[in-house]
A = this chain, B = another copy of it.
Amino acid sequence: MLARMERADVTIPLIAQRANVTPSTIYRRWGDLQELLADVAASRLQPETEPLKTGSARMDLQAWAEQYADEMSSGAGRQMIRDILAVSDTANAEKCSGYTQQQLRVIVARAEEQGEAFPTLTELMDFVISPIMYRILFDQVPNSDYIHGLISRVMPKGAPSPETAEATVDVSGA
């Protein structure tokens, strides 16, 4: 697998050999290594499953965002993002953002179905996804507490927090 190789050692002639084609075939289709890697990365970032259902939309969001941050801040994840951003064609970057929105829309829809107060898709992109991605790209990788803080802050006032709900259960259970 190409994935386990050092990135500097991946070359078009090498890829051509593994694919049993001539290098010129690849050069003609993609132009250069970066465009090929960008396409590969974008296809690998396509989500295969819907966000897990945990109980409340808020908890779905918390779990999903943590997994998102983990995947994106791993060595392989960061590399894929860089590959996508490295080329001047923005199609793959937009595709990548589209995948994220698609996932979040599912969670937003669940909240709506259940009448749960919830942020809009735009708010989630701006105040949860964007800070996570910025930190991954320019700063230190975000941890679980940080993500929790982002979500707390973007939740509409008066929306029940997981802690509140838990406390309620505790009281009724006692």
A residues in contact (CB < 8 Å) with B: 7, 79, 81-82, 85-88, 93-94, 96-97, 125-127, 129-131, 133-135, 137-139, 150
Contact = CB atoms under 8 A, between A and B. Distances in A.
A93 B141 CA distance: 13
B126 A131 contact: yes
B127 A134 contact: no
A85 B137 contact: yes
A125 to B, nearest CB: 7
A83 to B, nearest CB: 8
Residue of A93, A126, A138 ringed by the most chain B CB atoms within 10 A: A138
5 contacts: A97-B134, A125-B131, A127-B131, A130-B131, A133-B137
Listed from nearest, the 5 A-B pairs whose CB atoms lie closest are: A130-B134, A97-B138, A86-B86, A126-B131, A130-B130
Contacts of A7: 88
A81 B138 CA distance: 10
A27 to B, nearest CB: 13
A117 to B, nearest CB: 17
A121 B138 CA distance: 15
Contacts of A85: 81-82, 85-86, 137
A26 B126 CA distance: 41
Nearest to A126: B131
Given A82-B86, A93-B138, A126-B127, 8 more contacts: A7-B88, A82-B85, A82-B87, A86-B86, A94-B138, A126-B150, A127-B127, A133-B138
